[in-house]
């Protein structure tokens, strides 16, 4: 089993995923009230927070050397406020992200804008997983589709979901589980052009882009040289995907 809390980050090689739906543990009335107070305080500190649908990881374990089993539950973002309640434990959140490589061996990292929930933080393009709609399922194909949408929405890169390949899973300091997909290689100039067009379109529509900067790095040292913090999973993933012994075929 690999479903116990860890200080993080942890990195797991994975090429296959088995998913099953579960249920979030029931909360006592007292814990529900404490969670709601913590959420309201968080929203007062950051009005951009919203209580939308989300997916939490109930169980994570390795089935064989290439396969992870993940049991998930539908929650809302409010559930994460349990981290702020003494004695309470929030289920780990589930997110997807994508490695966008370049032909010369670098990978794209992106910085969250000042108005977001994680201002100034460097990470890979990605976002939280949402529960499937009526008649839909949460499976590897839908997760690839979600990762492809994040690439379009955040950096303007349109890629067919079937061309994304599940490559790694991470678990961070809060237990959050990330499913990392490898995208086809693109030249830096192409990615920068698409990102600039996306930012311009957002401004023309009267909106602020979710990202305020992008960069390309080929090593953890280059990542460390970027101004600002980065999410805890980023350094080990950059190390892994820019190292010749571990780099997948793009």
Residue 99 lies in a domain: yes
Residue 249 lies in a domain: no
Number of separate domains in the chain:
1
Residue 129 lies in a domain: yes
Residue 1 lies in a domain: no
The answer, as to whether pTM is greater than 0.75, is yes
**3-class SS of residue 40:** helix
Strand arrangement of the beta sheet that strand 122-123 belongs to:
122-123, 107-112, 211-217
Long-range contact pairs involving 190-193 (C-beta distance under 8 Å, separation at least 24): 191/100, 191/102, 191/108, 191/155, 191/157
Residue 101 lies in a domain: yes
Q: 34: domain range?
A: 10-242
Residue 247 lies in a domain: no
SS (H, E, C) 133-161: CCCCCCCHHHHHHHHHHHHHHHHCCCCCH
Question: And the tokens for 21?
Answer: 């739906």
d(CA 43, CA 126): 22
Residue 5 lies in a domain: no
| Tens-digit pLDDT string for the chain (250 aa) | 334 444 568 888 888 999 999 999 999 999 999 999 999 999 998 888 889 999 999 999 999 988 999 999 999 999 999 999 998 888 999 999 999 999 999 999 999 998 888 889 999 999 999 999 999 999 999 999 999 999 999 999 999 999 999 999 999 877 889 999 999 999 999 999 999 999 999 999 999 999 999 999 999 999 999 999 999 999 999 999 887 444 554 4
- Residue 115 belongs to a domain with what CATH number? 3.90.79.10
Q: 153 phi and psi, to 5 degrees?
A: -70, -30
Contact 95, 179 (CB under 8 A): yes
Contact 125, 100 (CB under 8 A): yes
Residue 167 lies in a domain: yes
């Amino acid at each position: 089993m690999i479903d116990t809390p860890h200080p993080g980050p942890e990195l797991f090689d994975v090429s296959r995923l088995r998913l099953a739906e579960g249920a979030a543990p029931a909360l006592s009335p007292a814990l529900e009230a404490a969670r709601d107070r913590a959420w309201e305080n968080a929203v007062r500190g950051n009005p951009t927070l919203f209580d939308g649908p989300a997916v939490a990881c109930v169980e994570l374990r390795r089935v064989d050397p290439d396969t992870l089993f993940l049991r998930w539950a539908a929650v809302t973002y409010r559930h994460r406020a349990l981290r702020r309640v003494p004695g309470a434990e929030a289920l780990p959140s589930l997110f997807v992200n994508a490695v966008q490589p370049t032909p010369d061996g670098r990978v794209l990292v992106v910085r969250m804008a000042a108005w977001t929930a994680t201002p100034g933080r460097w990470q890979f393009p990605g976002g939280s997983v949402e529960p499937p709609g009526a008649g839909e399922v949460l499976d590897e194909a839908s997760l690839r589709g979600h990762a492809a949408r994040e690439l379009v929405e955040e950096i303007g890169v349109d890629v067919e979901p079937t061309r994304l390949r599940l490559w790694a899973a991470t678990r961070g300091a809060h237990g959050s589980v990330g499913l990392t997909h490898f995208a086809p290689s693109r030249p830096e100039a192409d990615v920068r052009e698409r990102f600039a067009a996306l930012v311009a379109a957002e401004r023309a529509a009267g909106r602020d882009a979710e990202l305020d900067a992008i960069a390309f790095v080929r090593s953890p040292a280059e990542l460390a040289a970027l101004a600002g913090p980065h999410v805890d999973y980023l350094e080990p993933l950059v190390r892994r995907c820019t190292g010749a012994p571990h780099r997948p075929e793009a």
